[in-house]
Structure 1
Amino acid sequence: MSEHQDGRLRTRWRRSTRTIIAAAALCAATTALASGPTAGPANAGVNLAGRGSAHVSLAAAAPSRVAVGNGHTCAIRTDGALWCWGSNRSGQVGDGTTTNRTAPVRVGTATTWASADAGTSHTCAVQTDGTLWCWGSNSRSQLGDGTTTNRTTPVRVGTATSWASVSAGDSHTCAVRTDGTLWCWGFNRNVQLGVGSSPYIVAAPVQVGTATNWASVTTGYAHTCATRTDGTLWCWGDSSNGQLGLGILSYKATPTQVGTATAWTGVTAGYAHTCAVRTEGTLWCWGENGYGQLGVSVAYQTSPIQVGTATTWTRAGASLDSSCATRTDGSMWCWGKNASGQLGDGTTTHRYVPTRVGTATTWTNDFAVTYHSCALRTDGGLWCWGDNTSGQLGDGTTTHRSAPAQVNLPA
């Protein structure tokens, strides 16, 4: 089937980062020891090709944000410069070409990039002046520039200067403004824009409802979830695998509250599953679970189910069929599909419970997972692992790695 006949064609989708967190969180480090799931192998020197883990010395200006798409990666340095690499067929690297890059290349000359997110084959980023820019694939108007033309360099989305954060999905994009309003655009086949069943494609940002207390948003393949400042959680779009957490296996065309809890601090949408963290540090997931991406032993789950009993989770990130999360002690844990080594435990074994990534206790809350994963550490910049077919690990090769390897951003 074509991708339009089968909305579940996984080869086109990844789940990124969701909105990249603020710099202050990157410097947070605590020493609270968390109890939880059994740790996986800590053999962090093994990769899919059988070579040792690579370590590249970091340049003076360290990365402060990271986002990953299906086959590309972007990072913002502390000096505000933006660098991308990997798959570039649709121009998602943003360097004005469609040439794959196995090492970081700079996107323009601006030093005012504040946050970014990577979709399947497009990228969007916010600058410090509140402007929003997108580039890459635009076949479903996911760039929001009113066209369906692919862009190989950043193109500004409208004229607003009040964008706070952005989330890029497969073929749709959503963003929150500083006034608390929520906006979406792109493909609406599965009512993932939250504005009803029509139009089928929205070429420029359209406001979702009238609420002015949206705090964050995350876009999956064909569903979207968002939190409000009152701690409530809302989802809409496709729920054929229960990924909306509403106890249904159908669709919701407009935002619908998930349960009655008012303690949600963040949410992340994967291909067909969703995970979220509450204020008391508990982690909850729901939706499809074919590879254990929910971190619990169920076939699928149509309502939120707690992952283990730990109360020290700080942030979760969901992707195709994989999930990762960090804890207050600085450890990172991943679970679900691991065919490309994207769980970072030194193997390609699928994991059905959270499995620890090495022994480091310096992971920040800034990380992203798809077929490959990247994350920031307080003691040494940016680390990536997993699939490297298009050079998305940024080490100058196309060698897959199943354990974290440090990435160098040019000076």
Structure 2
Amino acid sequence: MKNFVLKFSKLTLLTFNLLILSYLFMGSLATCSAAYARGIQRGHSCVIQADNTIVCWGLNKESQAMPPSGTFLQVTVGGHHSCGLRTDKTVACWGLNEEGQATPPSGTFLQISAGLWHNCGVKTDNTLACWGSNDPYWHEKYPYLNEWKHHVKTLGQAEPPSGTFLQVSAGGRHTCGVRTNHTVSCWGSLLSDPPIVVGKLGVSQSIPPSGEFSQVATGIDHSCGIRPDHKMECWGGFGNIHPPRDILYSQMLGGGYMRCGLKTDNTVACFGNKDPRTNEGFRIPNSTCRCSIPGTRWCNDYICTTSPSHTFSQILETGYRYACGVRTNKTVVCWGYDPEGQTFPPRGLIAKSYEPACLLYGVHNNEKETQFVIINTGSLDVHVRSRLDKNHNIDALDVDPFNNDVYAASREGSLYKVRNGAQVITEIGKMGFANVEALAFHPDGSLWVWAEGTGLFIVEKGENNELNLPGKVILPYTGDIKIEDMTWNTDGTILYAVENLEQGSRLWAYDKSKNEVNFVCPELMGSLKNKVNALETLPNNILAFVFEEKKNLAYGVINVQTCEMTTRGEIATVYNQVKGIAWPDCSHGDAVK
């Protein structure tokens, strides 16, 4: 009897300890999930638009949705930070930098991936480099995660293995990469939540299956890969991530707790262990949902697939409960949970693709407001991008040919940089002269400016490719002409300028090499009935005009070699008082999928 009581007491104590451990474990999971939902979820989205610049939207508390200027090949979003691969293959990061995640290493890269608090990239020699947090906890404000730092000093998610790789994907506390022999290696936490049960429960997201893969993508607590036969296989996530067996994939990207992929027929499928009626991140526009494992009494694995008529060319990185994709017509579509506006991309957004496309920047300025617009050259639609709350009196606009930075100038002489896909503007200084009417970047990067009462002046660049304000007058104003706008031809030999007369207009051409000024196409320009508001050089040295029109945006295209107006039309829009237009260079190379 005594032995029985002793055994019973030990069993009771063991059971009690297991219950306490279970309670602590489940409580820890809840705490971590809540912390994730409050503090470190992806709440922003980014994409490379047609002119190779980055556009971001959504949560911007840490400036993670305010990309730097310049042209890029790839963009990747992390927790509260983002990173981009520039066209010179160096890396730029922005946003939260508490763990060094926004301070990339030097050197050149082929591909990069942003995790929640760390990043990794494949260098041009195919070795890996990682930066950011290497710890088992994410933020000092979360006591649960912080208490384990004395027991588990590091998880190693930012310590890549040696060898050569084709692709890498950074997740929550782990990272995976595809080696050049097409096998997958993973490192970091064996189980993301919580650290105390590392290796003790579930199927590890850091122990990949054997065999070959063409791509790998990591989530918060799981990983997935695409096999050479286009089938997807997942591991981690307590063993409850089950990709449908009857679907073939060509592309996928990392994200939160769900998974979306591009199928080989260019439709999109999202799946996970949540009901799409309660997790809107699964339900893609124009999709149908079903249980991915037929025959089960209770379905815990759902999949939603778009209809064949709604096809995509690319899937962007998914968030906690949302995702975005690029349609085959280059437009961006997002769906899912939207507390920060991350599923509402800027209007008229055309993503970079392998098929050529471009856009035209414009500034609308009337007595009430100043707004920046995008004109899609394919559909000829006008979309407002900015949300300025006053009239900035901006009449001049142009784009720097070196990095596609867009600049605008007010009549008072303030110079602005137009940022983040024309969504915001930042004043960078005073040009030294008022009544600015026109901006024109020379192919060498210098900025030529016309100011009524001052004349023609030039703003040179310094060592860091920044404009050195104020400018220097090179042709004083005489009062003989009034320039409305001007533009350089593509090779920088001729500066065109338009002047509005009482009847018709006049097109001036300044030959830089000969230092001569001549009229161009006098009969055609004299026959114009509408005043010219804006002028820009397009590829092949044809000139685009925007005319004064009260109801619509009126435009025309002139071939200056033949003096023919090859195109004339109007676009129905309330943003019709466009005072300046700028055509960026859309040929900076191919994007990285």
Task: Give the aligned partner of residue 279 of structure 1.
Answer: 264
Task: Give the aligned partner of residue 130 of structure 2.
Answer: 134
The answer to whether the Cα contact below 8 Å between 2:115 and 2:171 also exists between their aligned partners in 1 is yes
Task: Give the aligned partner of residue 374 of structure 2.
Answer: none
Q: 2:242 aligns with which of 245, 251, 270?
A: 245
CA distance in 2, matches of 1:407, 1:166: 35
Q: 1:157 aligns with which of 160, 185, 190?
A: 160
CA distance in 2, matches of 1:56, 1:138: 25
Matches within 5 A, 1:55-94: 58-59=69-70, 62-94=71-103
Task: Give the aligned partner of residue 221 of structure 1.
Answer: 220
Q: Which has the higher helix share?
A: 2
Change (3 A) 1:336 1:57: closer
The answer to whether the Cα contact below 8 Å between 2:67 and 2:420 also exists between their aligned partners in 1 is no
The answer to whether the Cα contact below 8 Å between 1:188 and 1:198 also exists between their aligned partners in 2 is yes
CA distance in 2, matches of 1:341, 1:402: 15
Matches within 5 A, 1:100-249: 107-110=104-107, 112-140=108-136, 148=153, 157-160=160-163, 162-189=164-191, 198=199, 208-211=208-211, 213-238=212-237, 244-245=241-242
> What SS does structure 1 have at the residue aligned with 2:234?
strand
> What SS does structure 2 have at the residue aligned with 1:329?
coil
Q: 2:349 aligns with which of 343, 360, 369?
A: 360
Task: Give the aligned partner of residue 519 of structure 2.
Answer: none
CA distance in 2, matches of 1:178, 1:141: 31
The answer to whether the Cα contact below 8 Å between 2:218 and 2:224 also exists between their aligned partners in 1 is yes
> What SS does structure 2 have at the residue aligned with 1:8?
helix
How far did 1:227 drift?
A: 0.4
CA distance in 1, matches of 2:79, 2:67: 23
From the CA coordinates, give the structure whose radius of gyration is larger.
Answer: 2
Task: Give the aligned partner of residue 294 of structure 1.
Answer: 282
* Cα deviation code 1:42-87 (max 9, x no counterpart): xx9x9999xxxx999944xx11111111111111111121111110
Which amino acid is the alignment partner of residue 237 of structure 1?
G
Cα RMSD after superposing both structures: 4.8
How far did 1:150 drift?
A: 9.8
CA distance in 2, matches of 1:266, 1:167: 13
The answer to whether the Cα contact below 8 Å between 2:118 and 2:158 also exists between their aligned partners in 1 is no
CA distance in 2, matches of 1:58, 1:404: 11
Task: Give the aligned partner of residue 474 of structure 2.
Answer: none
The answer to whether the Cα contact below 8 Å between 1:313 and 1:325 also exists between their aligned partners in 2 is yes
Which amino acid is the alignment partner of residue 78 of structure 1?
T
Change (3 A) 1:26 1:163: farther
Change (3 A) 1:309 1:320: same
The answer to whether the Cα contact below 8 Å between 1:325 and 1:334 also exists between their aligned partners in 2 is yes
How far did 1:272 drift?
A: 2.0
Q: How many residues align?
A: 305
> What SS does structure 2 have at the residue aligned with 1:361?
coil
How far did 1:329 drift?
A: 1.0
Task: Give the aligned partner of residue 350 of structure 1.
Answer: none
Change (3 A) 1:291 1:207: closer
Task: Give the aligned partner of residue 259 of structure 1.
Answer: 245
How far did 1:185 drift?
A: 1.4
CA distance in 1, matches of 2:75, 2:207: 27
Change (3 A) 1:157 1:236: closer
CA distance in 2, matches of 1:301, 1:27: 43
Task: Give the aligned partner of residue 313 of structure 2.
Answer: 314
Point out where structure 2 has 5 or more consecutive residues left out of the alignment. 1-25, 139-151, 291-298, 362-384, 386-418, 427-463, 466-593
How far did 1:308 drift?
A: 4.1
Which amino acid is the alignment partner of residue 259 of structure 1?
R
Larger RCO, structure (CA 8 Å, separation 6 or more): 1
* Cα deviation code 1:160-215 (max 9, x no counterpart): 1x1111111111111111111101111222699xxxx83789xxx9763331x201
| TM-score in terms of structure 1 length | 0.60
How far did 1:238 drift?
A: 1.9
CA distance in 2, matches of 1:117, 1:380: 30
Task: Give the aligned partner of residue 326 of structure 2.
Answer: 326
